């Protein structure tokens, strides 16, 4: 992404046209990566659900999980903090001894090393983002 500041800003580039400033700032590099979550490739996973990895950097891992009616993730423990953000439908999140139903635009935080899973007990698709921060360097443990 490029930010162009007003010509009166003290940038030392004021004499250049905007196109030159953009070229100078980016120097041919691409900074924006766009992923279409609906067409991203499915990733193999131990839960047997549709999971599409959308982002994986040292700072975070973002996966879109799609659970059909009756599907559930296996109870597991992650070596990092996780949050689940509901995109579509209704899902059930279990973390430790707690169990809550979530719907679109709700976010649930799951702390490191606490057993958790997501279930779809509804009669329609449940879609959510699963974000791990930072990206795990150890494996998730299925219970």
pLDDT at 136: 95
Tens of pLDDT, residue by residue over 62-94, are: 999 999 999 999 999 999 999 999 999 999 999
pLDDT at 24: 52
Region class of 28: left (phi > 0), else alpha (psi between -120 and 50), else beta: left
How many CA atoms lie less than 13 Å away from 103 in the CB half-sphere?
Answer: 2
Alpha helices in the chain, H assignment, sequence order? 18-26
Angstrom distance (rounded) from CA 59 to CA 66: 23
Angstrom distance (rounded) from CA 21 to CA 79: 44
How is the chain split into domains, by residue range? 1-32, 50-142
Within 10 A of 120 (CB to CB), how many other CB atoms are there? 24
Tokens at 98, concatenated: 């707690």
Tens of pLDDT, residue by residue over 4-47, are: 444 444 455 455 454 544 555 555 667 788 899 999 999 999 99
pLDDT at 105: 96
pLDDT higher than 80, residue 119: yes
Least-confidence region, from 29-33, 103-107, 124-128: 29-33
CATH 3.10.180.10 describes domain 50-142? no
């Amino acid at each position: 992404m490029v930010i162009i500041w007003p010509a009166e800003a003290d940038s030392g580039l004021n004499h250049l046209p905007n196109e030159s400033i953009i070229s100078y700032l980016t120097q041919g590099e691409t900074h924006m990566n766009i992923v279409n979550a609906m067409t991203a490739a499915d990733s193999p996973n131990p839960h047997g659900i549709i999971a599409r990895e959308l982002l994986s950097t040292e700072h975070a891992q973002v996966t879109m999980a799609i659970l059909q009616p009756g599907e559930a993730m296996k109870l597991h423990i992650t070596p990092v903090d996780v949050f689940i953000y509901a995109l579509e439908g209704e899902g059930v999140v279990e973390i430790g001894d707690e169990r809550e139903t979530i719907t679109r635009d709700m976010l649930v935080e799951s702390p490191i090393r606490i057993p958790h899973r997501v279930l779809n007990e509804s009669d329609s698709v449940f879609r959510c983002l699963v974000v791990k921060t930072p990206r795990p360097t150890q494996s998730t443990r299925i219970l």
